[in-house]
Amino acid sequence: MNRPLRHIAVFCGVLVLALLVRATWIQFVQADELANDDNNRRVKIEAYSYPRGNIIVDGKPITDSTTTPGDFKYKRTYKNGPMYAPITGFASQGIGFSFLESTYNKLLSGKDDRLALNRAKDILTGEKPRGGDVVTTINGKAQKAAYDALTKLKAKGAVVALDPRNGNVLAMASTPSYDPSSFAAMGDAKKFAELDKDENKPLSNRALRETYAPGSTFKILTAAAALEHGVITDINAKTDSPVPYQLPLSTTKIPNDVKTADCVNGSLKTGMQWSCNNVFLETALKVGKDKMRETAEKFGFNSEVYDKDLGDLKANKSLYPEKLDKPQTALTGMGQGSLTSTPMQMAMVTAALANDGKLMMPHVVDELRGPDLSTVKKFEPKQMSQAVSADTAKKVQEMMENTVDKGTAGKAKIDGVTVGGKTGTAQHGVNVDDERPYAWFVSYAKQADGTSPVAVAVFVDPKDMDIQRSEIAGGKLGGPIAKAVMEAVLKK
């Protein structure tokens, strides 16, 4: 072979070798990356070529799959989509996934490694892959009660209901909401864009992702901090708290919403009963910012409420600030100032107090199931902290139950049931006189054995409601909602 031909042969050999190396690299090293690339249409076509697994409430699916024309054979559908959207999220051919649909996408699509045996059987039998199911802790009646009550008010708001004993999320509603079915197909991106631009923020999960001043509902935590740190030992003892209360180092005087002489130097129990601002401003000041913050953090403040069981349903941080002067510290005692909370966080505070001080990690998934209904994973309750002692919790329960029986939280009364509750009306904005206050309500219900199967937090933003400002109060707006949710759980 002459020299030019030999060079050409070597060059061709190098090209073939490079081609083999590149092909091997793509098939074995980059395979997963390419398979999961958003621009790989074949993967999407295959993913939507069979029905998706379901999300289950009360033993019944609240999701389904239906055939559709085009390359993508199946699209996701939802039963009572707007009601369950804060839990399910969406599965959209064009937009992607959110919340449970995102967290458990591999299981629902049948691609989870724990379903490998099922996939092997499908290959042998020639059947299409099948997705697994996500079984939730949601109580369907409680969810409906929460959603219906919020929509009836035509309010922006949220409701969270927990089982204090194990952290099960029984209800999680947010309004206004959206129907995930409306943009499930590939050509529905315009509908999603409209929702995303809507100033009412229907895509926002107000129960988890928005924080607000908690107002007087925070007084239950202030009371717990004072008792836990020994600042107050007798809930019936008088306090040194005049009306109106003048903030320290300031000329500002804070009045009470309820006009009663009982608030003047009132006891902690009386202060809870009539939501006396003066009592809790003075109490927080005596406890001090460090001990107040320490107690708040034991209830979950200043950390993301996140557990692998919750997955994508993690809550934003609720904040008890670190750097506070004396006036600011006093204001946190009544849930104002720079203090912020999610509805989930206030549900956790209420649940922990109802559970004798033991705070359980909230979780919305009870079980993961394979397509053959076998259990892939069963989630177990997990304790976050002993937020306060059982003795402290029982004293706060006594005050909350008195507030329902004889005070401002009477709207939550349920015949034959022991109920504890606390109202809240929170000022907010740069100029609080120009903004309508938020309305809050927290409560729990007890069984005959003293345990509580349900604790509720209700948040209502009445900004766009057709209601007089004088009618905006946690008891009037939130109390009936909390009662309806608790009744739904108790009846089950």
Q: What percent of the chain has pLDDT over 70?
A: 87
Q: Does domain 44-136+179-197 have CATH number 2.60.40.10?
A: no
Model pLDDT, residue 308 = 58
User: Which residue did the predictor score with more confidence, 492 or 112?
Assistant: 112
| Tokens, residue 452 | 């509580």
Q: What is the mean pLDDT of residues 283-306?
A: 93
| Tokens, residue 157 | 């708001």
Report residue 428's pLDDT band, with 50, 70 and 90 as the boundaries.
low
Q: Give yes or no on whether 44-136+179-197 and 150-177+209-365+386-491 have one common fold.
A: no
Model pLDDT, residue 492 = 57
* Residue 325, CA atoms < 13 Å, CB-side half-sphere: 5
Active-site residue identified among 65, 216, 267, 443: 216
| Tokens, residue 71 | 């390359």
**For the chain, what are the domain ranges?**
44-136+179-197, 150-177+209-365+386-491
Q: What is the mean pLDDT of residues 123-128?
A: 57
Q: What is the pLDDT of residues 149-160, one digit of tens each?
A: 999 988 899 999
Model pLDDT, residue 390 = 97
User: Which residue did the predictor score with more confidence, 431 or 97?
Assistant: 97
Q: What span, in angstroms and rounded, lies between the C-alpha atoms of 315 and 231?
A: 31
Report residue 434's pLDDT band, with 50, 70 and 90 as the boundaries.
low
Model pLDDT, residue 404 = 97
pLDDT exceeds cutoff 70 at 318 = yes
Report residue 17's pLDDT band, with 50, 70 and 90 as the boundaries.
confident
Model pLDDT, residue 131 = 86
Q: What is the mean pLDDT of residues 235-260?
A: 90
Output the pTM of the full model.
0.89
Q: What span, in angstroms and rounded, lies between the C-alpha atoms of 60 and 342?
A: 29
Q: Which helix (H) or strand (E) holds 134?
A: strand 133-136
pLDDT exceeds cutoff 90 at 469 = no
Report residue 183's pLDDT band, with 50, 70 and 90 as the boundaries.
very high
Amino acid identity of residue 96, one-letter, is G
Given the candidates 3.40.30.10, 3.40.720.10, 3.40.710.10, 3.30.565.10, the CATH classification of the domain at 150-177+209-365+386-491 is: 3.40.710.10
pLDDT exceeds cutoff 60 at 126 = no
Q: What is the mean pLDDT of residues 230-237?
A: 96
Of the candidate ranges 45-49, 67-71, 194-198, the one whose mean pLDDT is the lowest:
45-49
Model pLDDT, residue 433 = 52
Q: What is the mean pLDDT of residues 217-246?
A: 96
pLDDT exceeds cutoff 70 at 399 = yes
Model pLDDT, residue 104 = 93
Model pLDDT, residue 373 = 86
Q: Give, rounded to a whole angstrom, the gap between the first and last alpha carbons of the chain.
A: 91
Q: What is the mean pLDDT of residues 38-65?
A: 83
Model pLDDT, residue 186 = 83
pLDDT exceeds cutoff 60 at 65 = yes
- Closest alpha carbon to 159 in 428, 440, 361, 452: 440
pLDDT exceeds cutoff 60 at 368 = yes
Q: What is the mean pLDDT of residues 247-274?
A: 91
Complete DSSP assignment for 254-273: E--SS--GGGTT--HHHHHH
Model pLDDT, residue 474 = 61
Distance set, CA 486 to CA 113, 350, 387, 389, 428 (Å)? 39, 13, 23, 25, 29
Of the candidate ranges 47-51, 110-114, 404-408, 440-444, the one whose mean pLDDT is the lowest:
47-51
Annotated active-site residue 49? The verdict is no
